[in-house]
Homo-oligomer: A and B are copies of this chain.
């Protein structure tokens, strides 16, 4: 049941995302560039977290699909810009040429700008009787905070500034909490806002998401040591080779595994406190703790 929910809704998001761009009245080439990266795959973990949160409150998936897609547009824009030559200078992402390798640097920058801007339009134009202007404004305000200079952009800046330096655990957590954590957290909070959760439930789900996000990142670091290239889609051991500060490098591998277990436990504890029907969210916790890619 849970697997089916995740599989079917991943397909739904996969189908819906390019449709949002195809109907735009814009030059063909920028639409192609935007769609190229939207279609480049990925686990769609953010949209699924939003839809799973809705489900936990007994709400229909349709209620959250536009926001789920808007979140994936923001995530996609951040990958396009991160991959640019002046940033991480990556030629491949998930085994495919990065956006600027196919469309050129200028178009890649504009495709990112376009996806970022359009994501706010998608939320503003939502057409569902349960989504009031008050709810839309809350969704937009929280999204801008999570993605902007106090969130994801701050994390990216801190990550750049930390390159080649020995970081403390606090500094490492600041980077992850902002660079990836804030948008994971937003995905869950957006689901809760749409579902009409109480302020207390939103606070609890925020805490749940905070721990889930850190667990996600720690597992990533562990996989770089214990994973297989075939499964994770990039060479194993690249963090060590690049002298990157990671949870295992700061805490040892066993220490990192303990930390992972701690954050998963904390996440589950906050999830129980919300007293929602959380089968999918609970399952996603376990998935993140044990994933092999």
* 14 sample A-B contacts, Cβ–Cβ < 8 Å, listed by A number: A25-B154, A77-B113, A86-B104, A114-B153, A116-B116, A116-B117, A117-B148, A120-B144, A121-B144, A121-B145, A124-B137, A124-B144, A133-B137, A140-B140
Which chain B residue has the least Cβ–Cβ distance from A116? B116
Q: Judge if A169 is at the interface, Cβ distance under 8 Å.
A: no
Asked if residues A27 and B121 are in contact (CB atoms below 8 Å), the reply is no
Residues from chain B with a CB closer than 8 A to the CB of A124 are 137, 140-141, 144
Q: Is the interface of A mostly helix, strand, loop or mixed?
A: helix
Q: A86-B105, A104-B86, A110-B156 are in contact. Are A117 and B149 (CB under 8 A)?
A: yes
Given known contacts A118-B144, A137-B137, A144-B121, A153 and B87 CB-to-CB distance under 8 angstroms: no
Q: Which residues of A140-171 have CB atoms within 8 Å of chain B's CB atoms?
A: 140-141, 143-145, 147-150, 153-154, 156-158, 160-161
**Chain B nearest CB, measured from A73 CB (Å):** 11
How many subunits of this chain does the assembly comprise?
Answer: 2
A156 partner residues in chain B, CB cutoff 8 A: 110
A148 contacts across to B, CB distance below 8 A: 114, 117-118, 121
Q: Are B118 and A120 in contact (CB under 8 A)?
A: no
Please encode chain A, from 127 to 140, with 1 for each CB lying within 8 Å of some chain B CB and 0 for all others: 00000111011001
